[in-house]
Amino acid sequence: MKLFSNLFKKKEKTGPEAAVVEEERPTFGAQGPADEEPAQPDEPSPSLLDAFNRLQQQVDESPEDTALLIRMAEIACQLKDYVAMQDACERAIVVDSSLLRAHHLYAEACQAQHDVINAIAMSTKAIMLLEGQDTTYPQAADLYRLRGELLMRVGDKAGAEADMQKSVSVEPVRPAR
């Protein structure tokens, strides 16, 4: 069955992006490269790739440093490398399972990969951590909004509405200009 033969192939980039591996897009039937690739979105900046690679080296030297892992996940998100984002979050959660930001970022990575069930699970875990702490979380409104959108996708309108209302109630008041 040659139709889907390249679905899971990986291709490595050359040049400064050599450390970043991206999944090759599948081709169906007789599509050629011109049919396969739509207009390319903005390429990640070399400085982001360099920052990610430097962080990777630092994490290799200090694998228990959760701040580095969180930063690596944030940069992976900017690079739209959601697999690397999940990996960094998983590593941070293994070191400290109470990291709210790691769970939140993990949920965003799952959502970006259309893994709704795991995105709901991770956002729920993040909300449980949020509600169990005394400090404020600047992205609390985004977290509730994320889970609300996910719950709406699976048909839980009541849960989605409750999360959206909570999102509005925790949204920081912005000063008038």
Share of the chain above pLDDT 90, in %: 59
- Report the pLDDT value the prediction gives residue 18, as an integer from 0 to 100: 45
Tell the CATH topology of 48-170.
1.25.40
User: Structural domain boundaries of the chain?
Assistant: 48-170
**In this predicted structure, what is the pLDDT of residue 12?**
43
**Structure-token match 């039937």, residue found:** 29
pLDDT digits (tens, 9 = 90+) for 6-64: 333 334 444 444 444 444 433 333 344 444 444 445 666 778 888 888 888 998 899 89
Query: Dihedral of CA 165/171/173/176: which sign?
Result: negative
- What whole-number distance in Å separates Cα of residue 149 and Cα of residue 160? 6
Q: How far apart are the first and last CA of the chain?
A: 61
Average pLDDT, the chain: 80
